[in-house]
A = this chain, B = another copy of it.
Amino acid sequence: MNPAHPIPVGLLGATGMVGQQFVRQLEGHPWFRLAWLGASSRSAGRSYADAAHWVQDCPMPEDIGGLLVQGAAPGAECPELVFSAMDASVAGGIERAFARAGHTVLSNSRNHRLDADVPLVIPEVNPEHLALIPHQRRERGWSGAIVTNPNCSTVTLALPLAPLRPLGIRRVLVSTLQAVSGAGYPGLPAVDVLGNAIPFIPGEEDKLGAETAKILGELRGEDPVGDPGDHIDPYPAVVSAHCNRVATIDGHLVCVSVELEARPSPAEVRSLMGGFRGRPQELRLPTAPERPVRVTEDPDRPQPRRDSMAGRGMTVTAGRIRECPILGIKFAALGHNTIRGAAGASVLNAELLVAEGLLR
Q: Are B326 and A247 in contact (CB under 8 A)?
A: no
Q: In the complex, which of the residues B194, B199, B249, B303 contacts A253, with contact meaning CB atoms closer than 8 Å?
A: B199
Q: Quick one: given A304-B196, A306-B55, A310-B59, are A332 and B189 in contact (CB under 8 Å)?
A: no
Q: Is the CB of A199 within 8 A of B246?
A: no
Segment 45-78 of A: residues with Cβ below 8 Å from B: 55-59
Question: Are A195 and B242 in contact, with the CB atoms below 8 A?
Answer: no
Q: Are A199 and B303 in contact (CB under 8 A)?
A: yes
Contact B190 A192 (CB under 8 A): yes
Chain B nearest CB from A337 CB (Å) reads 12
Distance (Å) between the CB of A342 and the closest chain B CB?
Answer: 14
Is the beta-carbon distance between A255 and B195 smaller than 8 angstroms? no
Among listed A7-15, A24-32, A175-183, interface-contacting one: A175-183
Cα–Cα, bound, A188→B247 (Å): 14
A324 contacts B by Cβ under 8 Å: yes
Interface size of A by Cβ–Cβ distance < 8 Å? 60
What is the count of identical protomers in the complex?
Answer: 4
Determine which of B171, B199, B249, B299 lies in contact with A194 in the assembled complex, contact meaning CB atoms within 8 Å: B249
Instruction: Specify the chain B residue showing the minimal Cβ separation from A256.
Output: B242
A interface with B by C-beta (< 8 Å): 17, 55-59, 171-173, 175, 177, 180-181, 183, 185-200, 238-240, 242, 244, 246-249, 253, 255, 257, 299-306, 309-310, 319-320, 324-327, 330, 332
Most buried by B among A194, A198, A304: A194
The 7 A-B residue pairs with the shortest CB-CB distance, nearest first, are: A175-B175, A242-B255, A186-B189, A190-B193, A199-B332, A200-B300, A196-B305
Residues of chain B lying within 8 A (CB to CB) of residue A330: 240, 242
Which residues of the other chain, B, contact A248 by a CB distance below 8 angstroms?
194-197, 247
> How distant is A279 from chain B, measured CB to nearest CB, in Å?
25
CB pair B195 A304 closer than 8 Å: yes
**Contact of A55 (CB < 8 Å), options: B181, B192, B304:** B192
